[in-house]
Amino acid sequence: MAAPRQPELLLTKEEIGREVNRLAQEISRDYRGKHPLLLGILKGSFVFMADLIRLLEIPVAVDFVSLSSYGSARVTSGEVKVVQGLRSPVKGRDILVIEDIVDTGLTVGYFLDYLKKRKPSSLKLCALFDKPSRRKIPIPIDYRGFTIPNRFVVGYGLDYNERFRHLPDLYVMED
Ligand code: 5GP
């Protein structure tokens, strides 16, 4: 297999920062007077989560889960398992799931079902990047950042074989 070419810039850190701020304003407004639990899906969401919570104007609790989907680096197979499960109680709490990117929707769809069974008082989803053209199941995204084309992106927490997560901007990987 040939080595991938250099990534090509899609969104700058300034553009991402403005969008994260807009999402934080919306979340702060909607959850005023509440104390939601923000649940990040590792690993990709950790950069987004770190930036988002510092722009919120409400108190939040934070936890992370690690889900693995079987498949290659670029294609989700559809089978998902919780690798590192939830430590925080979900029942009766306002839960906001923080996802980096929704592609087929299988990963987050699985996790939303898993959470629903644990009877939260509310359950919403915030995703910074949305690739709707590849969706396999309908996913209600309550707080959506950028809608992006069907390209494989890296940077801002997103990797390709554990590379490029540290990049502050978002890039498209060429095939
Ligand atoms: P889905 O289950 O929605 O197909 O895929 C969700 C997961 O696949 C994301 O949480 C992310 O880890 C990974 N993923 C999907 N699309 C991309 C992409 O364009 N770039 C990267 N780096 N990961 C992606």
Q: 7: Cβ below 6 Å to ligand 1?
A: no
Is 2 domain-assigned? no
Q: What is the pLDDT of residue 25?
A: 98
Which tokens go with 172? 């498209």
Which ligand 1 atom is the nearest neighbour of the CA of 110? 2
Q: How many domains does the chain divide into?
A: 1
Tokens at residue 105, please? 């929707």
For residue 99, what pLDDT is reported?
97
Which position has the higher pLDDT, 142 or 89?
142
| Domain assignment present for 119 | yes
Task: Give yes or no for residue 80 CB within 6 A of ligand 1.
Answer: no
pLDDT (mean) for 90-110 = 95
Number of H helices, E strands in the chain: 3, 9
Question: What's the 59 CA to ligand 1 centre distance in angstroms?
Answer: 29
CA distances from 116 to 33, 39, 45, 51, 149 (A): 23, 13, 21, 27, 30
Least Cα distance to 98 among 131, 138, 51 occurs for: 51
Reported as a pLDDT band with limits 50, 70 and 90, residue 1 is very low
Handedness of CA 49, 53, 56, 62 (dihedral sign): positive
Contact status, residue 110 vs residue 67, Cβ threshold 8 Å: yes
Percent share of the chain, pLDDT over 70: 88
Compute the distance from residue 44 Cα to the ligand 1 centre, in Å.
8
Assess whether pLDDT exceeds 90 at residue 140: yes
Mean pLDDT (whole number) for 37-53:
97
> 34 C-alpha to center of ligand 1: Å?
30
SS3 107: helix
Is residue 16 scored above 60 in pLDDT?
A: yes
Q: Ligand 1 in contact with 122 (CB < 6 A)?
A: no
Domain-embedded: residue 1: no
Is 33 domain-assigned?
yes
Give the global pTM: 0.92
CATH number of domain containing 117: 3.40.50.2020
Collapsing DSSP to helix, strand or coil, 132 comes out as helix
| Boundaries of domain holding 90 | 8-172
